[in-house]
Amino acid sequence: MPQIIDTRVDVELSADGDPLAFTWDRFEHTIIGQPQAVFTRTRWWENDGVPTRIDTELWRVDAARGGEEQHRYDLRRDVDGSWVLALDWG
Amino acid sequence: MNGNGTGVPAGGFPHLHVASAYSTHYGVTLPEALAGQARAQGSSFLALTDRDGLYGAVKHLRACVAEGIRAGLGADLAVHDDDRLPLGRVVVLAHGGTSGRGYAALCRAVSAAHQTVGAGAGSEPSIGRSELAELAGLRTLTVLLGPTSDVGEAIERRATKEAGARLTAWQRSMPAASVCLEIVCHLAEPGSPGSVTPATRMLALAEQSGLPAVLTNAVRYGEPEDAVTADLADAARTLTPLAELEQPQTNGQAWLKPAGAMRQVARMVVDAGLHDDGALARLLRDTELLADRCTLDPQADIGLGTPRMPEARVIGVTGDPLAELWKRGRSGVEERYAASGRPAVESAHTRLEYEMATVEHLGFASYFLTVSRVADIVRGMGVRIQARGSGVGSVLNYALHTSSVEPIANGLLWERFLSPERQTLPDIDLDVESARRHDIYRTLFQTFGSDRVSLMSMTNAYRGRGAVRDAGLALGMDPGQVSAIAKQMWRFNARDFRRALEEKPELEPLAAEVRASQQLDQLVDLTARLDRLPRHISVHPCGVILSDASLLDRTPVQASGMGLPMSQFDKHDMDPMGLIKLDILGVRMQSAMAHAVEEHRRLTGESIDLDRIPLDDEPTYELIRSTRTLGIFQLESPGQMELVGKLQPEVFNDLTVEISLFRPGPMKNNMPLLYLQARHGEVMPDYIHPRFEPILRETRGVVIFHEQVMRLFDELTGCGLGKADVFRRHLGKPEQLPLIEAYVREQALTRGFPPTVIDRIWTVLAGFGSFGFAKAHGAAFALPTYQSAWLKTHHPAVFLAGLLTHDPGMWPKDLLVAEARVLGVPVLPLDVQHSVLDYRVEDLPPGYAALVRTEPEPTEPEPTEPVPSGPAGPRRGIRLALPELSGSTAAERARIVRHQPFSSLQDFRDRVRPRRSSFEALARVGALDSFIGYDRERRHELLAHIQSLRGTAVTVHDDQLAFEVDLPVPRYTGDRFTAVTSLELRGRTQTELELRDLSLAVSGHQLARFYPLFAELGVTPASALADLPGGTEVLLAGVRRATNTPPMRGGRRVVFVSLDDGTGPVANVVFFHDAQERIGGPVFQTRHLLVRGRTRRSGAKGVSVTGDMLWDLTDAARLVRQRHSTERAAEKAAGDEARAEALAAELAAVAPANVHRLWSVRSA
């Protein structure tokens, strides 16, 4: 079962714009392989106001803290550019 | 290549698949914004591939040139196979560097796709694959097979084998190297369209088949924020609320992504599958290579900016067009000016030489010959034609008979039309009879060939109401609620909706609702997003494109509503594409005048050449000065009636001035008042400086015309009239004003103008801004104004027949009928024996008056001036036309005309086979009275008989002669019938019956029944108003004919109501703010009004009434009736009595001296 984290994290990006690593709870997690981005649309008309984006940006990454076992995580990038660690898939 | 190993220059990504907002209801970003964004991203190339056409192509090309990037063009087209089975949608891209062959093939492909439209109901544009293959020969086109193609569709559902087979079919059909696979990935969720999996499979298919693959983003908008607008477009296109969309866009990633983001996508696609080494670099390199191949040279490939005139032989020229134009110009001057004397001929020749120098310099000889050829063709069809616009300022056009207004004596300038400083193609507008416009178009297609002619299109953009409706639809709101909001969307731009809600007090209730509702709040934002976006294209009301045989290689065409081909380019695209556009505008007044002339010829055998009537006919000016201008071109509105009364035109130029003054710009700047004061000697004309007097004398010192501004600039600076016109046009641009001012001040000083004069004239020029009017326009309008006034003066019957047939003006036909009555021209009732499809003038039947005048009528007030009754002969009347019968069908009317006259009612029924409703309506209004000996009393029997008819009509073959045997005909005689009373007729006057079935009162004025009341109350007839001094208190009554609320200088609304009481021209009543408050809603709503007010005189003949109070005439009539009955019964019925008394008291306040006993009373 995925574990809901929902915490702001700092993400280090490569020159190409891909996430390389994120810092969660003071520990750096290194991303392994080519991360995949997924944009999921919202039913924005059901909410307040008109949004600037109609989709949310999620990056599904495999990452490991130091030499520990790697986990699969969902990183969400919000419109303001800030990153949120959404899920830990284990 | 570069050092980053991807094959793409570090700067930009070449987008090959981009829809602009001109892909209506699909793309949402304008081409200019897309090109600007591409350059800002460091891109050196951008293709535009609108859906089903090249709608945004020219704007894209110009934007790319302006941004300094390379442009590509293509179209997103549906394709079908030889069995007409759909093959999905593909992108067709034109190859550059082919001397235009690629672009031509693209145009032809788009046109071909549109040829299928209309083949079946609701069919969408689609091109056959074999046709596409043919056009793609000689390496002209590349076809991209992407996710929406049949191949992509198979890939999407993992049918790899089928995808391969479909691709093979494409490769077999298409020429070598003309097919690429298109990789699109919008990073959608796995399993949905636009995800990485089908993209990587498509890439694998390319590798297997050995075809190149290119990466695109199937762009629908520039920035990610615009994805919302694309959602709206989807809802509007499918007429489905967002919540119910079957295929909403998967996410918001179809934007014009910069290179980094596109490379990221490419990496994810490549990484998601198993691909050859170097797959990523190859994909990006092949994309770049295709962009190179599709880079179009604006000049060599498109011919941007190069005019293409029809070939000489097509316009009837064998030799050099310039020599031919010289020849025709010179002989035209001799012919046109022959009657004006040698000096006029000489000065016309001088002017011609001057004009020809510019024509030669600009290389426009063929253009003038083309326009003159078109004018000849139109005239050859016997259609009235009149040039309008700045082209009227040219002696050359006058000599060629393109224009019929003489420019030199009218003070019109060539430079307003054409000069070396003015690089755009000139514009000559031709006004023709509206009823013949489509015939003219067809003839032009036949004469020039459909490969050289096309209609122009126009782009209709979203405005407030449409935007709020489509936004409401997208949100799934109640249509009634949206409609109520839409009704409030005026006098501000939808894009400023939110600000308007904050600022405008009348929107406060709506603003409160918006604050309370999340959905309404969204509606406001969404409406603003849609505002100004292209919505659909349609045929332009008058634009016709004329070119050489290369036309269809330079513009795609599609069918217009009238069936003729229409270019996908609009008026803004004409000049850049070097396309000549003629405005051939249908003008109803031209049709009305042609009808009048034709009727006159039919009746008398005499031909009137309206273009040769003298322009100094005194009775014509007298009629205009009398303000009885109903039906006269340009002069018939209440405001024009008033202005014409003040201005009192005496010569043709006065009409030009009048028409030019009555424009929003001059009105707002108070020019009419300034001019009138000087004209009537109330103030001295102010010419500011003696050197300006020759320029401003004709308008008494008031600057009205563009031509005057140009001449002032020239006088001040010596810049020449061509340059002066450039200055004039820049006056409307605030950023240009300081530059012009500096130049004018410097030059004017050296040319000897004192600084105070310069200060004053500059204030006038700068204040003029872009307002005012080209005198060429005014003079071109003044000609049909004069012609129609001349016809009304000398041939009122045929002129009114023309007006009634073609309905060119602002007033209801019922008022035209009333005007005819006042002019002493009887209007004859509908009669199946005589009425035809248009209004004809016919001899009055003997004893006519006794037949129709069965109702109380006013004694006809003596016309204020004698109405000329044309050539001697029997009195004539205008016969009502069949189309006026409400609810009748065109087929019925055609059969009536075809089989006239009818020997009996049975004959009529059997041949015309009218529907029951039409049959009864004809009987009610008396159109069948011929079958009862025109005895109106027997119409009851006739109607009862028709209603009792049950048997079906005997079908009589169209060309069979009428039965000569007597059919059983009921005898409408004898006692049996006198007892018949039809409920539909009982108690109704002929006027009421006519108003019901014809909306026209022919036999008498609809207010005639009130005339006894008017006499009793002392109502002033409209025809008598002009004789009253100003400030006289009057009662007026009438039926409302028009309501106007012109914008006023003070900002306070003024309501003009035009009343018709049947005695003459309409009486115009003005209600100012205080009266509006006192009266309330009825000022707009009451149909039959009784008004108390005071006369207001303005000028010699100008009179209007300032309204003070208003009552509903039917209420007043009822109250007066009640008063009568109470008087008779000597009873006191409290409530109504009090009201009647109050009314009586108010009415009694009007001085009895003003009671005009013109209302003849026939006691009922």
pLDDT tens track for B82-93? 999 999 999 999
pLDDT at B953: 58
Phi then psi dihedrals of residue B455, to 5 deg: -80, 155
CA closest to A43 among chain B residues? B243
B228 touches chain A (CB under 8 A): yes
Q: Which residues in chain B have their CB less than 8 angstroms from residue A55's CB?
A: 227, 251-253
User: How far is it, in rounded angstroms, from Cα B827 to Cα B817?
Assistant: 7
Q: Which residues in chain B have their CB less than 8 angstroms from residue A17's CB?
A: 260-261, 264
Best of B189, B195, B249 to substitute, by most chain A Cβ atoms within 10 angstroms, is B189
Q: Which residues in chain B have their CB less than 8 angstroms from residue A50's CB?
A: 228, 522, 525-526, 529
* Rounded-to-10 torsion of CA B628, B633, B634, B635: -10
The number of angstroms, rounded, from the C-alpha of B28 to the middle of its chain's C-alpha atoms is 26
Q: Which pairs with CB-CB distance under 8 Å and at least 24 residues apart come from B154-157?
A: B155/B198, B155/B201, B155/B202, B155/B205, B156/B193, B156/B198
User: How far is it, in rounded angstroms, from Cα B263 to Cα B257?
Assistant: 10
Q: How far apart are the first and last CA of chain B?
A: 102
Q: Which residues in chain B have their CB less than 8 angstroms from residue A40's CB?
A: 188-189, 251
Q: Write down the residue that tokens 């793409």 correspond to.
A: B8
pLDDT at B1099: 66
User: How far is it, in rounded angstroms, from Cα B880 to Cα B889?
Assistant: 16
Label residue B864 by pLDDT band (50, 70, 90): very low
Query: What is the average per-residue pLDDT within B502-520?
Result: 85
In chain B, ranges of CATH 1.10.10 domains: 463-532
B173 touches chain A (CB under 8 A): no
Range scoring the smallest mean pLDDT among B97-111, B174-188, B1087-1101: B1087-1101
Closest listed residue to residue B148, CA positions, set B203, B78, B216: B78
- Report pLDDT digits (tens) over B878-887: 999 999 888 8
DSSP B405: S
Query: What is the average per-residue pLDDT within B12-29?
Result: 96
B50 or B388: which carries more pLDDT confidence?
A: B50
Q: Is the pLDDT of residue B157 over 80?
A: yes
* Amino acid letter, residue B500: A
Angle CA(B963)–CA(B966)–CA(B971) in degrees, nearest 5?
135
In chain B, ranges of CATH 3.20.20.140 domains: 31-298
Query: What is the average per-residue pLDDT within B524-538?
Result: 92
Label residue A11 by pLDDT band (50, 70, 90): very high
Distance from CA of B267 to the nearest CA of A (A): 8
Determine how many CB atoms are found less than 10 A away from the CB of residue B302. 24
The number of angstroms, rounded, from the C-alpha of B505 to the middle of its chain's C-alpha atoms is 32
Best of B268, B514, B527 to substitute, by most chain A Cβ atoms within 10 angstroms, is B268
Spatial CB neighbours of B1090, under 8 Å, sequence gap ≥ 6: B1017, B1019, B1035, B1036, B1037, B1110, B1111, B1112, B1113, B1116
Cβ–Cβ below 8 Å for A36 and B263? no
B184 touches chain A (CB under 8 A): no
Query: Across the interface, which of B253, B474, B521 has its CB nearest the CB of A39?
Result: B253
Label residue B865 by pLDDT band (50, 70, 90): very low
Closest listed residue to residue B257, CA positions, set B287, B209, B219, B313: B219
pLDDT at B355: 95
Best of B192, B249, B253 to substitute, by most chain A Cβ atoms within 10 angstroms, is B253
Distance from CA of A27 to the nearest CA of B (A): 27
For chain B, percent of residues with pLDDT exceeding 70: 89
B119 or B828: which carries more pLDDT confidence?
A: B828
CA closest to A36 among chain B residues? B268
Range scoring the smallest mean pLDDT among A6-10, B284-288, B1084-1088: B1084-1088
Q: Is the pLDDT of residue B126 over 70?
A: yes
- Report pLDDT digits (tens) over B1126-1157: 777 765 556 666 666 666 666 655 544 444 44
Fold category of B31-298 in CATH: TIM Barrel (3.20.20)
CA closest to B185 among chain A residues? A38
Cβ–Cβ below 8 Å for A53 and B252? yes
Spatial CB neighbours of B943, under 8 Å, sequence gap ≥ 6: B920, B923, B924, B982, B984, B985
pLDDT at B955: 61
Q: Is the pLDDT of residue B1164 over 60?
A: no
With 0-12 CB in 10 A as exposed, 13-18 as middle and 19+ as buried, what is B915? Answer: middle
pLDDT at A31: 93
- Report pLDDT digits (tens) over B594-650: 999 999 999 999 999 998 899 999 999 999 998 889 999 999 988 888 889 889 999
Angle CA(B117)–CA(B118)–CA(B119) in degrees, nearest 5?
90
CA closest to B250 among chain A residues? A41
Query: CA distances (Å), B555 to each of B53, B58, B664, B781, B1035, in order?
Result: 10, 10, 37, 34, 63
DSSP secondary structure letters along B591-609: HHHHHHHHHHHHHHSPPP-
Q: Is the pLDDT of residue B853 over 60?
A: no
Range scoring the smallest mean pLDDT among A45-59, B524-538, B835-849: B835-849
DSSP secondary structure letters along B543-558: EEEE--TTHHHHS-EE
Q: How far apart are the first and last CA of chain A?
A: 8
Query: What is the average per-residue pLDDT within B208-216?
Result: 96
- Report pLDDT digits (tens) over B974-1018: 444 455 566 667 667 777 888 878 777 777 788 888 888 888 888
* Rounded-to-10 torsion of CA B375, B381, B384, B387: -10
pLDDT at B1146: 64
Determine how many CB atoms are found less than 10 A away from the CB of residue B1058. 24
Distance from CA of A14 to the nearest CA of B (A): 11
pLDDT at B855: 39
Q: Which residues in chain A have their CB less than 8 angstroms from residue B474's CB?
A: 45
Q: Which pairs with CB-CB distance under 8 Å and at least 24 residues apart come from B977-986?
A: B977/B938, B977/B941, B980/B940, B980/B941, B980/B944, B981/B940, B982/B939, B982/B940, B982/B943, B982/B944, B982/B947, B984/B920, B984/B924, B984/B943, B985/B924, B985/B939, B985/B940, B985/B943, B986/B940
B242 touches chain A (CB under 8 A): yes
Label residue B563 by pLDDT band (50, 70, 90): confident
User: How far is it, in rounded angstroms, from Cα B810 to Cα B924?
Assistant: 29
With 0-12 CB in 10 A as exposed, 13-18 as middle and 19+ as buried, what is A90? Answer: exposed
A80 touches chain B (CB under 8 A): no
Of the segments B69-73, B757-761, B967-971, which one has the largest average pLDDT value?
Answer: B69-73
pLDDT at B22: 97
Query: What is the average per-residue pLDDT within B408-433?
Result: 87
* Rounded-to-10 torsion of CA B245, B246, B252, B256: -110
Q: Is the pLDDT of residue B851 over 50?
A: no
Q: Is the pLDDT of residue B767 over 50?
A: yes
Range scoring the smallest mean pLDDT among B6-20, B470-484, B882-896: B6-20
Q: How much is the ipTM here?
A: 0.94
Closest listed residue to residue B832, CA positions, set B727, B904, B762: B904
Q: How many residues does chain B have?
A: 1164
A84 touches chain B (CB under 8 A): no
Label residue B1100 by pLDDT band (50, 70, 90): low
Sign of CA dihedral B912, B914, B918, B921: positive
Cβ–Cβ below 8 Å for A34 and B267? yes
Cβ–Cβ below 8 Å for B522 and A45? yes
Q: Which residues in chain B have their CB less than 8 angstroms from residue A49's CB?
A: 518, 521-522, 525
Q: Which residues in chain A have their CB less than 8 angstroms from residue B248's CB?
A: 41
* Amino acid letter, residue B302: I
Q: Is the pLDDT of residue B325 over 70?
A: yes
pLDDT at B659: 93
Determine how many CB atoms are found less than 10 A away from the CB of residue B568. 28
B453 or B1022: which carries more pLDDT confidence?
A: B453
CB pairs under 8 A between A and B: 78
Distance from CA of A24 to the nearest CA of B (A): 25
Cβ–Cβ below 8 Å for B267 and A48? no
- Report pLDDT digits (tens) over B935-948: 877 888 888 888 87
pLDDT at B742: 94
What is the overall mean pLDDT for chain B? Answer: 86
Two tokens, residue B99: 């001397």
In chain B, ranges of CATH 2.40.50.140 domains: 1008-1154
B657 or B976: which carries more pLDDT confidence?
A: B657
pLDDT at B195: 95
Burial code (b: 16+ CB inside 10 Å, e: under 16) for B691-705 equals ebeebbebbbbbbbb
CA closest to A60 among chain B residues? B189
Distance from CA of A79 to the nearest CA of B (A): 10
A residues 6-35 closer than 8 Å to B (CB)? 16-18, 33-34
Pick the CATH number of B463-532 from 3.30.2000, 1.10.10, 1.10.1200, 1.20.120: 1.10.10
Query: Across the interface, which of A37, A53, A55 has its CB nearest the CB of B268?
Result: A37
- Report pLDDT digits (tens) over B826-845: 888 899 999 999 999 998 87
Range scoring the smallest mean pLDDT among A40-54, B224-238, B812-826, B859-873: B859-873
Cβ–Cβ below 8 Å for A38 and B225? no
3-state per-residue secondary structure call for B270-281:
HHCCCCCCCHHH
Label residue B857 by pLDDT band (50, 70, 90): very low
pLDDT at B962: 52
- Report pLDDT digits (tens) over B583-592: 999 999 999 9
B225 touches chain A (CB under 8 A): yes
pLDDT at B966: 43
Q: Is the pLDDT of residue B1 over 70?
A: no
Q: Note the pTM of the prediction, 2 decimals.
A: 0.83
Label residue B382 by pLDDT band (50, 70, 90): very high
Distance from CA of B285 to the nearest CA of A (A): 18
Q: Is the pLDDT of residue B904 over 60?
A: yes
Label residue B509 by pLDDT band (50, 70, 90): confident
User: How far is it, in rounded angstroms, from Cα B326 to Cα B828?
Assistant: 54
**CB-based contact B537:B55 (threshold 8 Å):** yes
Q: Which CATH superfamily is domain B1008-1154 in?
A: Nucleic acid-binding proteins (2.40.50.140)
Distance from CA of B1064 to the nearest CA of A (A): 59
